[in-house]
Chains A and B, each alone.
Chain A
């Protein structure tokens, strides 16, 4: 047997030390798992399990207050067929998109306008801090309270809005606002707009402030007008934030519940303000307690939201990729030209 040379002994010790170090690291890694246990437990118990349960119920005959037992249906998709064939659900789905769209369009336009005004470097607006605080304020107030407050403001025959219009001589007789489909919907969209434009504005302002000022300076040197700067510098650089705003607003908007549920009794004339969330609530927690159909409706909404989010991301992503590829190709061409 050969006795180990001193050099080899040193090497061995080094390896041993390395091994010890690694061992130490591995022993710390377990805390990564341990510290995630509360999150994972709460998620499994209060989110994952309920989701699986919801999906399951969608395929059964589970209904009635206090019911505990259920059976799977012969046709597993019967509830889905019922929901998709239900005119009320279709109305609700149409309303949800309409109410969201009429709030989002003015919201994003006004938020963009205000964000551009507030970030104008040459003409500073005085009292910006105050305006931001005031514009954001409605967002912090309980939506349930806001809904009932607006219900009272548009009250008939003697709500403040009627009172004001009469004093201004615009109308002679009090108008029953909430009996008009268009007005009821308009008020819901307006409230959503009113509660959210401040928030969107602040997000956009921080987005614009994050754009490299050198790009603006370069554009100014090139003689770009304010409008051109907005079109060719601000908008393209805000793309990611605009996608984020669109997707979060869409996900939130398609779950709209508090305002339409509490603004007008019985979802307004002809279910004018019935949203899918209100539909699900009515199915599951009132009337005949159709948990199974409500579950199927929730699942349909989830699929719609997932597809729409994916489409938005895909379109926006694809465009930017295409633009990048184009730019890369152009650059390569230039390099080749320069080389030749």
Chain B
């Protein structure tokens, strides 16, 4: 009897903890979304409210009247993230294919090499990278933010782990007997087989690129080239100092697309995290 009571108390505590953490996750965003519809005066009187007000369009006018342009940031981020994601998943799968299917002399050495470069911190690359891009006059260009994604060691590692149990060499061999070229086999037979892994890696690659701040911040100096995170950092500056409603609205505009995508794909994202192939 006593034990039963103890267990039900523990269960109760567990639910209390989970609900408290849920509130912790949701409240900041809730406050942000509600405040994006309220005027600065209202926010100054009471910064927390659960009731939306009617100043959404007014805030939008103030927000876009200054340097913050969500549409431009959105477009630039879409271009860069999509380009980088395509590069990452396609070429990582190709590299993994080379590591799994072909028997070449430096195969194992190359795999160890890929494992080693996963540890390189981006700080070490950034200054030399900036100087290199500056010298070839490619700052304010999206290509330096897209093309490096071709070499994504973490993704290659993940793809290789996924490919080994899925791909049987017999499939490749029978395609060869039918006269298919190696490149054709990869594109038409292997890529479709890798779809689940590609989907998972694509989501994470996209989100990572979308959220990236350091490199875009040092490479893109023209405002019409800003990505969403660089655009967001404008909200910190003096021009929006007292326009609280507009700041919250600007933040909301950057968060909403991510939240929508997240809740649509959360099943795959959680499964992907569980595989441990995420941390960059």
Contact = CB atoms under 8 A, between A and B. Distances in A.
B273 A302 contact: no
B123 A302 contact: yes
B131 A53 contact: yes
A25 B173 CA distance: 11
Interface of A: 25, 28-36, 38-43, 46-47, 49-57, 68, 114, 117, 123, 125, 127, 131-138, 140-145, 148-153, 155, 158-160, 162-164, 167, 194, 198-199, 202-203, 205-206, 241, 244, 248, 251-252, 254-255, 257-258, 261-262, 265, 276-277, 280-281, 284-285, 291, 294-295, 298-299, 301-302, 305-306, 309
Given A42-B150, A57-B127, A144-B233, A31 B91 contact: no
Given A47-B117, A251-B121, A265-B236, A31 B98 contact: yes
Contacts of A25: 103
Which 9 A-B residue pairings sit nearest by Cβ, starting from the closest? A32-B102, A53-B128, A50-B128, A32-B104, A42-B150, A54-B128, A35-B98, A46-B148, A206-B274
Interface stretch (B17-25, B56-64, B160-168, B193-201): B17-25
B15 to A, nearest CB: 8
Contacts of B80: none
A25 to B, nearest CB: 7
A235 B102 CA distance: 39
Contact of A299 (B29, B124, B144, B233): B124
B48 A160 contact: yes
A298 B98 contact: no
Contacts of A43: 117, 151
B280 interface: yes
Given A153-B28, A202-B273, A302-B124, A248 B95 contact: no
B107 A158 contact: no
A42 B148 contact: yes
Contact of B102 (A28, A206, A248): A28
A38 B233 contact: no
A52 B105 CA distance: 27
Interface of B: 7, 10-11, 14-15, 18, 21-22, 24-26, 28-29, 31-32, 35, 43-48, 91-92, 94-95, 97-99, 101-105, 107, 110, 117, 119-132, 135, 144, 147-151, 156, 182, 186, 207, 210-211, 213-214, 218, 228-230, 232-233, 235-236, 244, 247-248, 251, 254-255, 258-259, 262-263, 266, 269-270, 273-276, 278-280
Contact of A244 (B119, B130, B276): B276
Nearest to A301: B123
Contacts of B149: 42
Contacts of A152: 32, 244, 247-248, 251
From DSSP, what is the main secondary structure of chain B's interface residues? helix
B128 A140 contact: no
Nearest to A295: B127
Given A35-B186, A52-B128, A152-B244, 19 more contacts: A29-B103, A30-B104, A32-B98, A39-B92, A39-B151, A43-B151, A47-B117, A50-B125, A53-B131, A131-B21, A133-B270, A142-B211, A145-B232, A148-B232, A149-B251, A150-B28, A301-B121, A302-B120, A302-B123
26 contacts: A29-B102, A31-B102, A31-B182, A32-B98, A32-B101, A32-B107, A35-B102, A39-B92, A39-B150, A46-B144, A51-B124, A117-B14, A123-B10, A132-B270, A136-B266, A141-B255, A141-B258, A153-B28, A158-B47, A163-B47, A202-B273, A202-B274, A254-B121, A255-B122, A257-B213, A298-B127
A36 B110 contact: yes
Contacts of B120: 47, 51, 302
B84 to A, nearest CB: 11
Contacts of A145: 229, 232, 251, 254-255
Nearest to A52: B128
Nearest to A163: B47
A241 B210 CA distance: 28
A149 B251 CA distance: 7
